[in-house]
Structure formats: C-alpha cells, structure tokens
Structure 1
C-alpha cells in the first residue's frame, strides 16, 4: 500500500469509528496495521475500534502498547481505564483513570470517570 493509500485508509477508519461502525473500521485498518503498526495513532484508532466493538482484551492490548511508546499519554490511560472497567477490573481501572486525571486535572470528563469508578467501588467493592 502506498503512503497516500495508508493515510486515506486511516482517515476512512477514523470516520467509521466516529460513526460507531467499528467492525467496518477494523476491516479498513487491516492493511494500515501491516504497514505502520508501531505508530501510536494507529494503535489508538485500533484500540477505539476494538473498544466500541466490545473486543475488550484486544482494546486493552492496543492501549497498553500506546503506553509503552508514551507512558504520559493521558487519553490512552483514560480509555484503558474505561476498558478495564468494562471488564469488571475496577481497581486496575481506577489506577489508570487516577493517573489520567492527575495528568489532565481540569478536564471534567476525566473527573467524572474517576468519580464514577470510585462510587462503584465504594458501593459494590472491587
């Protein structure tokens, strides 16, 4: 695939994820992954597509890979936390979301995510 084709496929996959059509996005991403698998932006899009298609273990792998590239990526930590939360792994989720919130303290979405998981743990336990 040419660089132009890779970029075009990536952009198309972004649109599909935004439209909540993750399975189609994953199909479009297949050739992109083989070309530029180690790019954090590709892993993020891949992880989001897996997340929205409820392939949570795969999503977790993609988000953890991003954090190998850049441990300070607050959004990857947030969405990894959400992924762990959906798997019922609340203490692990809280640790990731807490880190993300520390890195991005003025974003209400991060604060809400942390409050939500803290409330769950307080009422139902981990």
Structure 2
C-alpha cells in the first residue's frame, strides 16, 4: 500500500553536458520544490564557491536552510540579501518568516509588513496578521503601538 506521507526522493533533473551555476540553480530549485534541502545544499555549495556573489544561488541556499530548519543560517543569508537588495520582496518575507519561526515576532513584523505592502500577496498579508495576533496574545506591542 502506498503511503503518501513518505517523501519520494529522486535525483535532480540534470541533462548530459550541463554544468555551471545555471545547472546548479535549476537542479537545486527542483530539489527544494520536492523538499530535499540537504541534497540541494550539496549542489549549491560548490557552485557558490565558484560564484560567491550569485544572488540566485544564495537565495536558494537560504530557502534550503529554511526548509531544513537551520534558521540562524537562513537569517544570516537573508539579512545579507536584504541589505544588498532592500526591494527583494521574497528575501524580505523569508527573513520575516525565519525570525517568526525563532519566535522573534517583533523583529519579524516589519519585514513581513514590508513584503506584504510590496507584493499585495494574500499569503504575505496572512503572515502579518498571524504575527500580529501572536504578539497580541503575548501582550507584546507592535511597531504601531510604539509610535
């Protein structure tokens, strides 16, 4: 009997003759979409050694850290990405989620709010509401309450 709760592992899709950061990016993205962060990191690290400033590869590494619950590493990578590109709504939202998962709600909220304002994405807006609610339940004040 098939149990659909068991993840199916498969190698990334790589075609013969493909090499370089583009291949690492595509293959790692494929692995991450199948929730295989360790395998994705195995592809990303050598590619990042060759191109340490590659923003796309770094974003995938941050995603792998998030999926793998390596939240401090995800936070560090995402902070650097946001600092380099403040209008990167994905990195900003992911940084907020990383902080939220570490129960650092007051730090997460500004990033989540900004990402929601930048995109209008309902999932981003729900993240803001979720954090605001958790803060209210804890009796913590948000940014609006301090002004």
With the length of structure 2 as denominator, give the TM-score of the two structures.
Answer: 0.79
Any unmatched runs of 5+ in structure 2?
1-17, 141-147
Which residue of 49, 54, 68 maps to 2:83?
Answer: 68
In terms of fraction of residues, the more helix-rich structure is 1
- Residue 93, structure 1, aligned to residue 108, structure 2: yes
**Closer/same/farther in 2, CA of residues 108 and 23 from structure 1, 3 Å limit:** same
Any unmatched runs of 5+ in structure 1?
none
Which residue of 55, 59, 72 maps to 1:44?
Answer: 59
Q: Which residue of 2 aligns with 1:28?
A: 43
1:13-71 deviation digits (Å, cap 9, x = unpaired): 11111100001111111111101121221111000000100110110111111112211
Partner of 1:4: helix, strand, or coil? Answer: coil
> Which 4+ runs in 1 deviate beyond 2 A?
3-6
**Closer/same/farther in 2, CA of residues 108 and 58 from structure 1, 3 Å limit:** same
Structure with the greater alpha carbon radius of gyration: 2
With the length of structure 1 as denominator, give the TM-score of the two structures.
Answer: 0.91
Check whether the contact 2:25–2:56 (CA below 8 A) recurs between aligned residues. no
Q: Which residue of 2 aligns with 1:54?
A: 69
1:59-116 deviation digits (Å, cap 9, x = unpaired): 0111111112211111111110000001110000011101111212x21011101011
Partner of 2:20: helix, strand, or coil? Answer: helix
- Residue 108, structure 1, aligned to residue 128, structure 2: no
Partner of 1:38: helix, strand, or coil? Answer: coil
Which residue of 104, 127, 132 maps to 1:118?
Answer: 132
Greater relative contact order (Cα 8 A, min sep 6): structure 1 or 2?
A: 1
